[in-house]
Structure 1
């Protein structure tokens, strides 16, 4: 969903300023167990329609912390940040939950309650590179 100020800028033929996104400090708590035991969690990261990558799989850990950081140099304020949390299994990777939020300038830490249980906590910084 686009914000009203963004629509006004687009209507005037202007573009939103590009920004630098840094996503870090991804951690989860109380990820649900599956039939084979505790969760083998990982996270896939998207900025707008751009796939930024995924974390390593943390095996047998209901409270994983991921060291990876993700950066995107063409992010825009108002773009959607999407984090998909999965449990890796032998045949299928079960989607535990999706966190989606429109990005704002500055540094923000959020807790996201996952559909199948557990909480994903993450921090992102969105800096205006045109300042």
Structure 2
């Protein structure tokens, strides 16, 4: 009689790969565009697939901000789209500085993204 263990292991492994732990961290900006009033008061909104993961704190009057927040998602899948929107916090209406979008891949990956209004967003993510 054949053992069903190999089949059971195959099924369990495929279920484990369907949804994976995803983390975005090490978010930092460099040379972010300035407004008339000074440097940007920047923050980042984080999305993965259709999920909103949150947003960072505002770093006031800093062209080279570093955010300590980490964002996790437990139902991420390879090839989901990671979207990072960078904004300048202002009274009344926040200015949009740019967006970074990328399909996520397994492993730990670091990227630089050039923003439409000037400056660069650097970030790292891990999927596994």
TM-score greater than 0.5 by the shorter chain: yes
Q: Structure 2 CA distance, aligned partners of 1:38 and 1:112?
A: 19
User: When you count helix as a share of all residues, which structure comes out higher?
Assistant: 2
2:62 corresponds to 1:68: no
The alpha carbon displacement at 1:53 in A equals: 0.2
Which residue number corresponds to residue 93 of structure 1? 94
Q: Structure 2 CA distance, aligned partners of 1:38 and 1:123?
A: 24
Which residue number corresponds to residue 34 of structure 2? 33
Q: How does 1:81-120 map to 2 (within 5 A)?
A: 81-120=82-121
**Structure 1: gaps spanning 5 or more residues:** 1-13
Give the TM-score normalised by the residue count of structure 2. Answer: 0.86
Q: Which runs of 4+ in 1 moved over 3 A?
A: none
**Structure 2: gaps spanning 5 or more residues:** 1-13
> What do the CA deviations read for 1:24-50 (whole angstroms, capped 9, x no partner)?
000000001112111000000000010
Q: CA RMSD in A?
A: 1.3
Q: How many residues align structurally? A: 114
What secondary structure is seen at the aligned counterpart in 1 of 2:97?
Answer: strand
Which residue number corresponds to residue 3 of structure 1? none
Larger Rg: 2
> What do the CA deviations read for 1:74-109 (whole angstroms, capped 9, x no partner)?
000000000000000112101100000000000000
